[in-house]
Chains A and B, each alone.
Chain A
Amino acid sequence: MSLTLTVSDIWKSYKGIPVLKGCSFSFDAGATYAVMGANGSGKSTFLRICALIENPAKGEVHYFYNSSAVKNDIELRRRVTLVLPGIGIFNTTALSNVTYGLKIRGIKKSEAIKRASEALEFVGLFQKRNQNALTLSSGEAQRLGIARAVVIEPEILFLDEPTSSIDEKNTEIVEDIIFKMKQQRGTTIILTTHDNSQAERLAEKTLFIREGCFISR
């Protein structure tokens, strides 16, 4: 059994304008979900709420492990991660970007470097490990963002439009990484996308947000 996520009746507004109006869903462990919807439909907000970096105005986010509710604290937040669309690359080397998540967990430097190097190898950026991460192309930066997430071995990985601003070649690479995450590590993946065919390729189930609610299609 693994970590599972259930959201109930999630509401969120920005400057008085409601974005999410009562979204509810249960995500199974090990599956890949695509969340689709128009720009401004609340996909990213939904992901940030699920990843526990933003609170809903109303409603609840529950994580369960072996059917038992998991307390919402820093330990839980360290079992899930979200790769943001702008990524938020730190002004340091690619390697230091990837070791970041390990260092803040108190993992020894030598171990952190070993695991970060493996993660960079996994996303095809090992050769660029000593390069300042801000000098990477947008496609490489996206892969670096995934490497930062991969290295901390999340049980649930949220990806907010992982291929929205990258070329076809890098899209293929990123999709391949997502596929491997699922196959090799059994990670639960919840991603947002505008691309129907990408949702078909990667996800077992696709959710649509329209007018702040999930609709079935």
Chain B
Amino acid sequence: MNEIVKAFILIFSLDKELMGIIFLSLKVSGLALAAATVIGLPIGAFLGLKRFPLRRIIIIILNTFMGLPPVVVGLFLYLLLSRSGPLGFMGLLYSPSAMVIAQTILAFPIVTSLCHSAIVNINPIIKQASMTLGATSAQAAVTIIKEARYGIMSGIIAAFGRVMAEVGAILIVGGNIAGYTRVMTTTIALETDKGNFELALALGIILLTISLFINLFLHLIQQRGIIQANI
């Protein structure tokens, strides 16, 4: 009980170490999400809008990768980035950049797959309507993506939730270096091992609060999408 009180004191006193860890977590996950969105959104849109050979296989692979175990991603990335690995010359291992890459790999299939689903679920009449109004194929594609905006946003938020709560991959490639690569999830794991429960609890409360807001936001977007679909 005493630890919980101390945890709240840490939060409300805006403890410098705590704030640094939160800021780094948000920075790493935010950058990873941005990268995954920039790469995943056009690919998801392409998969949703175009029909080509191997499309179904790509979709199945993406759906499978949505449940990619983070430790496996961490392991493969470690082998790639370690000094003796093919990308070792870049010197990225145990840096925030390596953590961003790891989280991007985890977020990418979620953004891509959910973006694809959002687009294929748009009524085909929308494309026909835009074509009858004089849209080119590219303009019709933009219209469909706009119509799928709620589903796409849901995918992006779901990916953010996944990377924020992730620990395995970033622990392997980030190394949990204090003040440099230590983020909320890895700190919780480390401080719990050390018996320093107040910092672990404080970060747990912050992580849960962020998770709550992400889910609330996701729920609101989905509700809005459901309301629009039912009209």
Contacts A77-B134, A88-B123 given; indicate if A104 touches B139 (C-beta within 8 A): yes
Residue of B nearest to A47 (CB): B132
Contacts A90-B143, A91-B228, A134-B228 given; indicate if A100 touches B130 (C-beta within 8 A): yes
Residue-by-residue, is A176-214 near B (CB-CB < 8 Å gives 1, otherwise 0)?
000000000000000000000000000000000000000
Closest approach, in angstroms, between the C-beta of A79 and any C-beta of chain B? 9
A83 to B134, CA, bound (A): 12
- Interfacial residues of chain B within 19-53, with CB under 8 A of chain A in the complex: none
Q: Chain B contact residues: over half helix, strand or loop, or mixed?
A: helix
A149 to B130, CA, bound (A): 11
Q: Does B129 contact A (CB under 8 A)?
A: yes
B231/A74 in contact, CB under 8 A: no
A90 to B143, CA, bound (A): 8
Closest approach, in angstroms, between the C-beta of B24 and any C-beta of chain A? 38
A90 to B231, CA, bound (A): 12
In the complex, chain A residues whose CB is within 8 Å of the CB of B231? 132, 134-135
B147/A91 in contact, CB under 8 A: yes
B132/A83 in contact, CB under 8 A: yes
Q: Total A-B residue pairs with C-beta atoms closer than 8 Å?
A: 59
Residue-by-residue, is B108-140 near A (CB-CB < 8 Å gives 1, otherwise 0)?
000000000000000101101111111110010
Contacts A90-B143, A135-B231 given; indicate if A84 touches B134 (C-beta within 8 A): no
In the complex, chain B residues whose CB is within 8 Å of the CB of A152? 133-134
Contacts A100-B130, A135-B231 given; indicate if A88 touches B125 (C-beta within 8 A): yes
A90/B125 in contact, CB under 8 A: no
Q: Does A87 contact B (CB under 8 A)?
A: yes
Residue-by-residue, is A24-54 near B (CB-CB < 8 Å gives 1, otherwise 0)?
0000000000000000000000001001010
Chain B contact residues, CB within 8 Å of chain A: 123, 125-126, 128-136, 139, 143, 146-147, 228, 231
The 3 A-B pairs at the shortest CB distance, nearest first, are namely A88-B129, A78-B134, A88-B125
What are 12 A-B pairs with beta-carbon distances under 8 A?
A: A48-B128, A53-B132, A84-B132, A87-B129, A88-B128, A89-B129, A91-B147, A104-B133, A132-B228, A134-B231, A152-B133, A152-B134
